[in-house]
Amino acid sequence: MKTNAARILDRAGIAYELREYAVDERDLSAPHVAAAIGLPAEQVFKTLVARGDRSGVVLAVIPASAELDLKGLAAASANKSIDLVPLKEVLPLTGYIRGGVSPVGTRKPYPVFVDETAELWDRIAVSAGRRGRQLLLAPAGLIRITEAKVCAIAEF
């Protein structure tokens, strides 16, 4: 079953593969998802929702194996400070639940920042907008559809 994010990619003519996996409600972590779809954690990217003091809400797309560099994201997004939004705000802001936040097709368009390591891969995986589904696509396709800025925002 296609998700809204997949339909958006279809309309834009961006090639992707939809990969499904069994969801473990006890472990929604990105490294667990990477293992479930058979890819290294560095190739599977999680989408984090943050809020800057100047820009408001932004999306950070970083490898499953990394932590978000808040100072790097603040600098890239022209903020003095930035913090992750509380979990209770993720669904109202994005239309997606924890473990299913996609950088594609959010309720409202937000600035997207993709870690530069995405460009090291021919294809990366991001959430398809529903737990249990991942989109595998070329980083350039993700960057184009989200109008993302590529920057160093991950800490390993």
Helices (H) and strands (E) in the chain, counts: 5, 10
Query: What is the rounded average pLDDT of the residues 97-104?
Result: 96
Q: Given a cut of 90, is residue 76 above it in pLDDT? A: yes
Close Cβ partners of 149 (under 8 Å, ≥ 6 residues apart)? 76, 111, 112, 113, 114
Q: Is 129 exposed, middle or buried (0-12, 13-18, 19+ CB in 10 A)?
A: buried
Confidence of residue 1 (pLDDT cuts 50, 70, 90): confident
Using pLDDT thresholds of 50, 70 and 90, give the confidence band for residue 102: very high
Q: Residue 39 — φ and ψ, nearest 5°?
A: -125, 155
CATH classification for the domain delimited by 4-155, as one of 3.20.20.140, 3.40.50.2300, 3.90.960.10, 3.40.50.300: 3.90.960.10
State mean pLDDT over 62-86: 98
Q: What is the pLDDT of residue 13?
A: 98
Q: Using the 8-state DSSP alphabet, how is residue 122 labeled?
A: S
Q: How many Å apart are CA 48 and CA 80, to the nearest integer?
A: 18
The percentage of residues in the chain with a pLDDT greater than 70, rounded to a whole number, is 100
The string of pLDDT tens digits covering residues 44-61 is 999 999 999 999 999 999
pLDDT given at position 57:
98
Computed over every residue of the chain, the mean pLDDT equals 97
- Would the pTM of this model clear 0.85, i.e. be above it? yes
Residue spans of the domains in the chain: they are: 4-155
Whether 108 has a pLDDT exceeding 80, the answer reads yes
- Name the residue among 53, 31, 57, 50 with its Cα closest to residue 125: 31
> Which residues, listed in sequence order, are joined to residue 84 by a DSSP beta bridge?
50
Per-residue model confidence as pLDDT tens digits over 110-131: 999 999 999 999 999 999 999 9
Determine the average pLDDT of the residues in 81-99: 97
